[in-house]
Structure 1
């Protein structure tokens, strides 16, 4: 079933349908994608939370899109690790519109970020494309590290993602001194 859904997500017809029905129903996604004042305000809200000692960003759902784009715009931030959970970054209708635009078919690695861990529940429809490593250029320590977890019947629940041991490990790794 998952293979069929992944194939469907890549179909040109589905992308139009997804935009109208899936994303159309999620007004916040549509607004973020289509309204510059909305994405500017969202990225500014992330920027307000970044301090001199911020090493790790954990971003869920649409927040992972906002955090990714904000990191790409701000390579001077002290952030060394990005942890995305339940991320729609791989969905074609979002991936194709990311800023910065793709180069040679690959999304940009946020400059300054050393490691990126992507955690997804295979049943999470928001993270339908749950493997981001092949979609983005590799970073200083390799490609996006994709990890699967099971959140049970609450596949997209942030609390379940945040309390998963694989998420905790990714955060702890980012809080340690980066390798030389």
Structure 2
């Protein structure tokens, strides 16, 4: 039995503009990215007392240039970032970004009225009225005048609390929306992942461990929800995942669009004990602020486990996530479960 490791990267992994994007240059670039991931995993493996994985059994489906080029082409053509919730891809992006942003800010203590008392005191009373109505179970909207102020305050709050620049937060939100709402873009990314799985099978691998980082955790979840026949999937690992944000969760594959009921992908056949899905998060990672994922996807099910990380170099660093010995041990054990 032979198990391959599939590494699914996130957004902002495109090659620098103006550099050679030929086949050989792309291959070299992807090889460097793969080494970066494996360096973190090797450190974690040592700390966990496990051997490092075989680099020849590691696959990194690279869609970074494809995603960046399609987004750029869309915006050059006059399109705007997409909304979720069934609206047209070319529509204004406010609803998508705002919902994710407000979810994340609320997760770490954002209260609009308190923040507006400092920045826009004349609107604080209106914000309190909305908050009181919602607390009593009513459906209350921020309104066209108040919502932009609330969102702006939430963005500043998130940036202050996490240290992530506002521009990075807003760009991440837009890219997630593009992937989730633009069907052609989403399908193109999934085709890249499917091609890597097919290569792993052609190389003789019967089993698969999947690791998704950041937006890549959405891509990985989708891929497993519509998995074509291939190597058995033994474990899903997500790191720095936005899957818990309500608007993201509602738009993942695996259930009716708009319905937030999502679970562990059924295709996973656990290789080690009963663990099917391991999610790791840093509390300061702005992408993974809605955590843990277990209560949202598989409440009370020991087939899913959340691991809290403390990433030393950057809260969102994939190398730091993989260097955590608990994460590395789960990956290596799943890779070696059927060895011999």
TM-score by length of 2: 0.44
State the Cα deviation string for residues 38-84 of structure 1 (Å, max 9, x = none).
11111111111112324201110000000101111016341110011
In the alignment, does 2:187 pair up with 1:40? Answer: yes
How far is the alpha carbon of 1:111 from its aligned partner? Answer: 1.5
Partner of 1:5: 107
More helix by share: 2
Partner of 1:134: 295
Partner of 1:93: 247
Distance 1:37 1:64 in 2: 19
Gaps of 5+ in 1: none
Distance 2:229 2:297 in 1: 20
Aligned 8 A contact 2:107 2:290 in 1? no
Aligned length: 172
Which structure is richer in relative contact order (CA contacts within 8 A, separation 6 or more)? 2
In the alignment, does 2:199 pair up with 1:57? Answer: no
1:69 pairs, out of 217, 222, 226, with 222
C-alpha change, 1:70 and 1:64, in structure 2 (3 Å) is same
C-alpha change, 1:49 and 1:154, in structure 2 (3 Å) is same
Aligned 8 A contact 1:124 1:156 in 2? yes
C-alpha change, 1:124 and 1:56, in structure 2 (3 Å) is same
2:282 pairs, out of 121, 126, 135, with 121
Q: Considering only aligned residues, what root-mean-square deviation do their CA atoms show, in Å?
A: 3.3
Partner of 1:156: 316
Distance 1:112 1:31 in 2: 26
The higher radius of gyration belongs to: 2
The secondary structure found in structure 2 opposite 1:79 is strand
C-alpha change, 1:107 and 1:36, in structure 2 (3 Å) is same
C-alpha change, 1:6 and 1:86, in structure 2 (3 Å) is same
Gaps of 5+ in 2: 1-103, 112-133, 135-140, 156-165, 271-275
Distance 2:299 2:332 in 1: 21
